[in-house]
Chains A and B, each alone.
Chain A
């Protein structure tokens, strides 16, 4: 196959032009009536919504429009290699006509469909038809040049393009024009069909740039999340291995020694018992610290508000906490917000030189908003190896954002916002 490509290039190309023309013709024949029908039905159905009939028909009509658009997406991918990913929101199943209708009407993809229909029946139709015209019209010219001019030679001649055909020489002129047109068709036919599909994508596809940017952000935050959680797991494993686990092994060894010493040397055994108890206490306190680092108990028991209050009580700097949360966020969001706040507060205590900190926590417009203000010396920035970059990454996983206002001389105000719903 690969060896063949060069020699068969001309033939393949010729076939490609023919194929493009035939496909273009088929598309043109389908797009005009299809788009007109879809648009008319949609408009009528939408217009009938106020009297109720539209509520019943609109979901069906719009589903039909979607099917039509989806079929064109498939053609664009198969014939033109242009991928137009559909971005419809899932429809609530078994819902009443009202929610189905307005669910569909609220979907921006529906409006993209409806916007696309008039474009498809005009510009789309032209760009689909032109390849066929560009290929078939020169064929007519060649036929004229060959012999057909005799049949067409009526009163005043026959116009082929701008050439008036009335004898063999003018017919040859038409033939030359046909060849010139064919020459252009050779370039333009595939491109026009391509233009058709690109046009479809431009109108029907969702905003690709925005989507690509979103994908980039998601990919990045996912990588960050995976990295952090892997590092976290390693830390936990190491802490367990070096800490609690080792101490429990020591307890076990002590108990073994105690068993052996109990009769021979009770005094020594007693000493070992005390040592074993100390080890078990240390193991417990290490496990406690570990748990606090994974999921703080107060957070699990009371939620974000009280967890931050409890956190503030442990800080060496006087911290005022103001919480206005009517419910609880999902556990991962709560946890992210808690650790982000914890990091910001630790930063404030360590670096700001403040003697007072205020934390404000509330939920508004579908966002959890937390503000940490201190009366320290300011000058905090995101990045430059500060913990704030880590906080930003942590929040990024949840589409959260971090803003730092910290003029030199203070005060510092760190605001974070995470989109979430409360339950």
Chain B
């Protein structure tokens, strides 16, 4: 699997390259600025891009803008955005086109190599990988009185949280140490309570939940 990597800090870029290579990714390019990233995304057509939000020359949200632009040119281009901080505002912009294949994670998540590589694979496969912080903020907002979310049991909320991060039923079951069938039952309950259509497609499932959380207020 070919990866384009954009990160301006040498230490972190080097670490990411080694981490990804250790997990059998091919590094098509490892760049350190916005214009280089834009060129690499256009020319190399990678399977997935791992991009830092803040990149030279502007040191603002150059990386995010590059990723969004590349996705407009090539819809569905899988992009995993890394950031020193996560903002719902940016998460929404990434999810806005509804074509999936996006991730938005805190840089710290790299510490857990297995989970991080799993997230890259999920995004590359067209799924989503949202940082738990974004999801928690979303859920905290939505959990007010009288909203459908308030009717979920604590266990269902836990499942919902993992589901909106982009995990499959199998992954959630593994995480919560229960059977996959139990998770399937929980998800069915969640969809019923939130009034969402059940879908087998992992990606559509997450997007439906996110769309609900975003607009269902």
Contact = CB atoms under 8 A, between A and B. Distances in A.
Nearest to A302: B61
Interface string A117-129: 0000000000000
Q: Is the interface of A mostly helix, strand, loop or mixed?
A: helix
A15 interface: no
Contact of A318 (B85, B111, B137, B217): B217
A301 B108 contact: no
Nearest to B61: A301
A283 to B, nearest CB: 10
B141 A277 contact: no
B66 to A, nearest CB: 13
A288 B131 CA distance: 15
Most buried by B among A300, A301, A314, A318: A301
A301 B89 contact: no
14 contacts: A280-B111, A288-B84, A291-B84, A291-B85, A297-B84, A297-B87, A301-B53, A301-B54, A309-B89, A310-B87, A310-B89, A313-B89, A314-B137, A316-B144
B60 interface: yes
A58 B87 CA distance: 59
B11 interface: no
A300 B60 contact: yes
B136 to A, nearest CB: 11
Interface in A49-91: none
B108 A284 contact: yes
A281 interface: yes
A328 B84 CA distance: 23
B141 A298 contact: no
A237 interface: no
A281 B60 contact: no
Interface residues of A, number: 21
Interface of B: 53-54, 60-61, 84-85, 87-89, 108, 111, 137, 140-141, 144, 217
Contacts of B140: 316
B88 A313 contact: yes
Contact of B111 (A277, A288, A316): A277
A330 to B, nearest CB: 16
A315 B87 CA distance: 12
Interface of A: 277, 280-281, 284-285, 288, 291-292, 297-298, 300-302, 306, 309-310, 313-316, 318
Nearest to B87: A310
Nearest to A310: B89
A105 to B, nearest CB: 42
Contacts of B88: 310, 313-314
A302 B53 CA distance: 12
Contacts of B53: 301
A235 to B, nearest CB: 20
A306 B140 CA distance: 21
Contacts, number: 42
Contacts of B61: 301-302
A372 B89 CA distance: 20
Contacts of A314: 88, 137
B110 to A, nearest CB: 11
Contacts of B60: 300-302
Nearest to A287: B84
A313 B85 contact: no
Contacts of A277: 111
Nearest to B133: A285
Given A281-B108, A301-B54, A316 B85 contact: no
A190 to B, nearest CB: 67
A306 B84 contact: no
A213 B90 CA distance: 46
A297 B111 contact: no
B204 to A, nearest CB: 24
A94 B83 CA distance: 49
Most buried by B among A280, A288, A297: A297
A309 B90 CA distance: 11
Nearest to A277: B111
Given A288-B85, A291-B84, A316-B144, 13 more contacts: A297-B84, A297-B87, A300-B60, A301-B53, A301-B61, A302-B61, A306-B89, A309-B89, A313-B88, A313-B89, A314-B137, A318-B141, A318-B217
B108 A292 contact: no
A407 B88 CA distance: 34
A118 to B, nearest CB: 58
Contacts of B141: 313, 315-316, 318
Contact of B85 (A297, A306, A315): A297
B131 to A, nearest CB: 12
A298 B140 CA distance: 21
Contacts of A300: 60
Contacts of B108: 281, 284-285
Contacts of B85: 288, 291-292, 297
A288 B108 CA distance: 11
Contacts of A313: 87-89, 137, 141
B87 A298 contact: yes
Nearest to B134: A313
Contacts of A306: 89
